[in-house]
C-alpha cells in the first residue's frame, strides 16, 4: 500500500485544534481516550476534568463560540443522562430561548 502521509496530516490538524481549544478555555489536554481524534480528556485544574469529542471541539473553535458554553453543554449532557442533541443543536436552542 502506498504511504500517503494522511495520518501525519490528521494528527497535525487534531493537535492544532487542541492547542487552540486549550488556549481559549484555559485548560490542559491530558490524553485521547481512544486514539487521536476521538474523545479528549481535558484538565481544568483542581481535579476538574471533562471529556470532549473532536467534533464539538472543532465546532467550538470554527464558530468562535463564547468561552464556557461548551462546558454548560457538557453539564446539561451529563444531567440528561446523555440524551441530548448535538452541541450545535444545543447552542441553536439556547439562542432561541435567550
- Mean pLDDT on 40-53: 91
Q: Is 26 contained in some domain?
A: yes
Total domains in the chain come to 1
Which pLDDT score, from 0 to 100, does residue 83 have?
63
Q: Is 1 contained in some domain?
A: no
Residues linked to residue 32 through DSSP beta bridges, in sequence order: 40
Q: Is 15 contained in some domain?
A: yes
Q: Is the pLDDT assigned to residue 11 strictly greater than 80? A: yes
Confidence bin at 96 (pLDDT 50/70/90) = low
pTM above 0.95, yes or no: no
Task: Give residue 26's domain range.
Answer: 6-97
CB atoms within 10 A of CB 42: 22
Amino acid at each position: 500500500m502506498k504511504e500517503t502521509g494522511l495520518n501525519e496530516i490528521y494528527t497535525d490538524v487534531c493537535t492544532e485544534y487542541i492547542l487552540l481549544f486549550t488556549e481559549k478555555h484555559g485548560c490542559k489536554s491530558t490524553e485521547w481516550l481512544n486514539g487521536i481524534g476521538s474523545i479528549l480528556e481535558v484538565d481544568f485544574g483542581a481535579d476538574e476534568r471533562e471529556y470532549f469529542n473532536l467534533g464539538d471541539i472543532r465546532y467550538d473553535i470554527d464558530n468562535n463560540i463564547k468561552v464556557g458554553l461548551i462546558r454548560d453543554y457538557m453539564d446539561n449532557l451529563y444531567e440528561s443522562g446523555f440524551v441530548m442533541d448535538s452541541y450545535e443543536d444545543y447552542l441553536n436552542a439556547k439562542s432561541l430561548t435567550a
